[in-house]
């Protein structure tokens, strides 16, 4: 990569940051809450969490909120690098402002990063695919590439062996039961699956999948309604289940974990894989301990992701996104 060139104006930097912030709005988030805000001032852009969009029951400790915001941060970083911009990134830059998660400053131009361009190209194509995956296995070399990419983001990837997938299924199923029988969770689920179209968030019925026999159960987003997608004839026979994890669960760890989540999902998409994050087992304390046991207690689990191939030509519906005016503030 060429050395950065500083022949840029503040207006050019602001335009680059705005484009990156817009790209970040396609990042995944728990229940599609999109719990982040951007503020752009000249050549600086700040990412803050939006506590009002935290799930008070499903995500009581805010772990998934931080993962979601980390995903938005990585999307923005990728968009900048793909467009040939160099940015200095400071994470958690002000301890007096806990909601301020990152500050990005554009410092110059460089040759567009080919790897970043590949990931950026996957941003608009990525979907959470809740349908069942087919029998085609995920190649070992693909998993090795994903593992290296995750480690470059400061996190780790554990591939669950086939003989331990039943343990994972127990953890997810137990978490799902605990949440299902909690009236407060059901109320929260209903709130985020019956959003008015103008809000541009939540999980609409068109993107939810009907319950079916699976190796690891999929979340039932509409227990009293009619999901728009059928699981299909397959049962995840060739699916690979991976656990994204890190050394700890501090805000800095979880933010990095969210960046790694974004890298994983975008790279998998660019390689033709279908992806589906599974967060139930990290939302409830006891199942989360079961995940730690799957990791041999060497790290803190952030998220489970199902990887595989779908034997269908059906185009998945696009999840809604909030209006940019609600999420991006530009100071003149």
Residues 79 and 106: their CA atoms lie apart, in Å, by: 12
Residue 130 lies in a domain: no
Residues 252 and 69: their CA atoms lie apart, in Å, by: 11
pLDDT at residue 315, as a whole number:
86
One domain for residues 156 and 114: no
One domain for residues 173 and 117: no
> Do 212 and 273 contact (CB within 8 A), yes or no?
no
Q: How far is CA 328 from CA 122, 140, 258, in A?
A: 22, 40, 20
Residue 128 lies in a domain: no
Averaged pLDDT for residues 240-252: 97
Mean pLDDT across the chain, nearest whole number? 95
One domain for residues 325 and 303: no
One domain for residues 171 and 281: yes
**Per-residue pLDDT for 318 more than 70?**
yes
> Do 192 and 202 contact (CB within 8 A), yes or no?
yes
Residue 115 lies in a domain: yes
Averaged pLDDT for residues 102-114: 96
Residues 34 and 27: their CA atoms lie apart, in Å, by: 8
Helix, strand, coil percent content, the chain, rounded in steps of 5? 40, 20, 40
| Residue span of the structural domain in which 65 resides | 10-123+319-331
Residue 131 lies in a domain: no
pLDDT digits over 268-285, tens only? 999 999 999 999 999 999
Residue 67 lies in a domain: yes
Tokens representing 310 are 């779908």
Residue 221 lies in a domain: yes
Averaged pLDDT for residues 33-56: 97
Residue 203 lies in a domain: yes
Q: How far is CA 238 from CA 28, 124, 138, in A?
A: 24, 25, 7
pLDDT at residue 295, as a whole number:
97
Residue 207 lies in a domain: yes
One domain for residues 115 and 172: no
One domain for residues 164 and 113: no
One domain for residues 60 and 178: no
pLDDT at residue 1, as a whole number:
40
Number of domains the chain contains:
2
**Per-residue pLDDT for 332 more than 90?**
no
One domain for residues 302 and 325: no
pLDDT at residue 313, as a whole number:
84
pLDDT at residue 6, as a whole number:
59
Averaged pLDDT for residues 53-66: 97
One domain for residues 301 and 153: yes
**Per-residue pLDDT for 3 more than 50?**
no
One domain for residues 65 and 161: no
Give 174-200 as a DSSP string: HHHHHHHT-HHHHHHHHHHHS--GGG-
One domain for residues 26 and 52: yes
Q: Which pTM value belongs to this model?
A: 0.96
pLDDT digits over 171-227, tens only? 999 999 999 999 999 999 999 999 999 999 999 999 999 999 999 999 999 998 899
One domain for residues 48 and 168: no
> Domain with 258 in it: what CATH number?
3.40.109.10
């Amino acid at each position: 990569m060429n050395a950065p060139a500083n022949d840029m104006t503040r207006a050019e930097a602001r335009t680059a940051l705005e484009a990156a912030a817009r790209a970040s709005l396609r990042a995944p988030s728990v229940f599609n809450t999109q719990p982040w805000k951007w503020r752009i001032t000249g050549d600086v852009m700040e990412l803050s969490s939006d506590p009002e969009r935290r799930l008070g029951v499903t995500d009581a400790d805010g772990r998934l909120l931080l993962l979601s915001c980390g995903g938005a941060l990585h999307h923005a970083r990728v968009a900048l690098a793909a467009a040939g911009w160099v940015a200095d990134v400071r994470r958690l830059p002000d301890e007096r402002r806990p909601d301020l998660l990152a500050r990005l400053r554009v410092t110059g131009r460089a040759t567009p990063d080919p790897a970043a361009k590949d990931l950026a190209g996957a941003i608009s194509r990525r979907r959470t695919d809740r349908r069942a995956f087919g029998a085609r296995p995920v190649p070992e070399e693909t998993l090795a590439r994903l593992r290296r990419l995750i480690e470059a983001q400061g996190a780790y990837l554990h591939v669950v062996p086939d003989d331990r997938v039943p343990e994972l299924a127990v953890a997810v199923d137990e978490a799902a039961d605990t949440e299902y029988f909690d009236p407060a969770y059901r109320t929260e689920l209903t709130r985020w699956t019956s959003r008015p179209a103008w809000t541009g968030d939540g999980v609409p019925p068109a993107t939810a999948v009907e319950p079916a026999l699976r190796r690891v159960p999929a979340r039932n987003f509409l227990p009293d309604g009619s999901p728009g997608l059928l699981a299909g004839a397959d049962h995840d026979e060739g699916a690979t289940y991976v656990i994204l994890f890190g050394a700890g669960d501090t805000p800095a760890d979880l933010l990095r974990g969210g960046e790694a989540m974004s890298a994983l999902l975008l790279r998998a998409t660019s390689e033709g894989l279908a992806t589906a994050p599974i967060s139930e087992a990290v939302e409830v304390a006891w199942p989360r301990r079961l995940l730690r046991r799957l990791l041999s207690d060497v790290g803190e689990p952030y998220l489970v992701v199902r990887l595989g191939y779908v034997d269908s030509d059906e185009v998945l519906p696009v999840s809604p996104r909030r209006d940019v005016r609600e999420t991006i503030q530009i100071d003149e």
